[in-house]
Amino acid sequence: MFDRLVSFIREQYRTQEFIPLHAPVFRGRERELVLDTIDSTFVSSVGAYVDRFERDMATFVGSPRAIAVMNGTAALHMALKLVGVEQGDLVVTQSLTFVATCNAIAYCGAEPLFIDVDRRTLGLSPKALDEWLSEHAIVDDAGDCRTRDGHRRIRACLPMHTFGHPVDLDALVAVCERWRLVLVEDAAESLGSYYKGRHTGTFGRIGTLSFNGNKIMTTGGGGMLLTDQVTGTRAKHLTTTAKIPHPYEFVHDEVGYNYRLPNLNAALGVAQLEQLPAFIESKRALAQRYIDFLKDSPLAPIVEPAHCRSNYWLNGVVCEDAAQRDALLKSTNDSGVMTRPIWALMNRLPHYTNALKGPLTNAEWLEARVVNLPSSVLQSEQ
């Protein structure tokens, strides 16, 4: 039934072999820089590539500071701790996300508060958030946002830029200011995506990135916090065992974390970042080919929202209904072309079923219909 789509995807990747959803591409200085760390013996927690990777990334995204950590989940955990999320707090997020977003909330002893997404952006809906808060929350005399029932503190708002498409940031920033929520952006999927010309992950107090193997660029495993100078200095301290600098003594002034990114991984990151602009161009070109190809098909491609420039990390389509989605998944995977449904909603997972939530109409609608198509960077001569 989806034979033409399968042939189209095979033409893009010029292969009759299995086509994965997203594979990393190493065609820059990866080998050279990783070997350099081995030759120097500085493969671990000390080394020049970590500083270099942080500086290069801060420049690329336009953030005052960037702090490298060992994965995106660790970056989220630290971000929430740094903005003061504590035991018993609530953190607003979307139920349509990868599980890491919610796990980071749970690591702080806090609980997610699930708010619906927009159908256009696939990300947290500022309108749905404002409506839920208007009905169920107040800002108390101390300036904290609290639920009317139970007076639970709602400390932060953690939207996620799904598949690289930015949420409606102007509206969301305004809602967060009105309700005194600290904005933290899960930008794991949106490195290279811009909202009104500004890089995602730089709108909130902190933004986080992931460099897992399936992301737009990889360090094997890795993540980053994007933030201001003061928070950045705190983040560095907290993620490197909270050690007070001293020539030989071990003094730590709080419970710290060993979340730092090894130099070996940072070297890979420096080499990958050099190619990031080319990766983004390739992905945007592939997205346009999908959009053109799907013009007269029942599948609606997911396109960048207004005023945004998306990295198109993963291409997606919205099927007419769940039956069509299942047929698409079966026919492509049976043909050796990997496709995947979007995540099951987080409120369905056993550990999050009791979480507070608003209506999730759009999230449920998308959950039943969205499929991701192969989206790896194309070979350079294509």
Ligand X SMILES: *Cc1c(COP(=O)(O)O)cnc(C)c1O
**What are the residues whose beta carbons fall under 8 Å from the beta carbon of 28, sequence distance 6 or more?**
271, 272, 274, 275
Minimum CB distance to ligand X, residue 93 (Å): 10
Minimum CB distance to ligand X, residue 193 (Å): 13
Minimum CB distance to ligand X, residue 101 (Å): 5
Q: Which stretches within the chain are classed as H helix?
A: 3-13, 30-40, 48-61, 72-82, 99-107, 126-136, 169-178, 229-239, 263-293, 322-334, 361-367
Minimum CB distance to ligand X, residue 59 (Å): 22
Nearer to ligand X by C-beta: 159 or 301? 159
Judge contact between 199 and 63, C-beta under 8 A.
yes
Nearer to ligand X by C-beta: 152 or 199? 199
Minimum CB distance to ligand X, residue 334 (Å): 26
Nearest Cα to 119, choosing from 318, 347, 358? Answer: 318
Work out whether strand 340-341 and strand 370-373 pair parallel, antiparallel, or are unpaired: antiparallel
Minimum CB distance to ligand X, residue 243 (Å): 24
Nearest Cα to 74, choosing from 50, 93, 100? Answer: 100
Please report the DSSP string for 182-196 in residue order: EEEEE-TT-TT-EET
Q: Reduced to 3 states, what is the DSSP secondary structure of residue 19?
A: strand
**What are the residues whose beta carbons fall under 8 Å from the beta carbon of 59, sequence distance 6 or more?**
none
Nearer to ligand X by C-beta: 208 or 335? 208
Nearer to ligand X by C-beta: 98 or 279? 98
Length of the chain: 382
Nearer to ligand X by C-beta: 122 or 133? 122
Nearer to ligand X by C-beta: 152 or 215? 215
Minimum CB distance to ligand X, residue 201 (Å): 12
> Which residue is closest to ligand X by CB?
72
C-alpha span between 120 and 302 (Å, rounded): 8
Nearer to ligand X by C-beta: 311 or 324? 311
Nearer to ligand X by C-beta: 212 or 241? 212
* Number of Cβ within a 10 Å radius of residue 154: 24
Nearest Cα to 78, choosing from 217, 256, 253, 248? Answer: 256
Minimum CB distance to ligand X, residue 313 (Å): 9
Binding interface with ligand X (CB under 6 A): 71-73, 97-98, 100-101, 160, 186, 188-189, 210, 212, 223
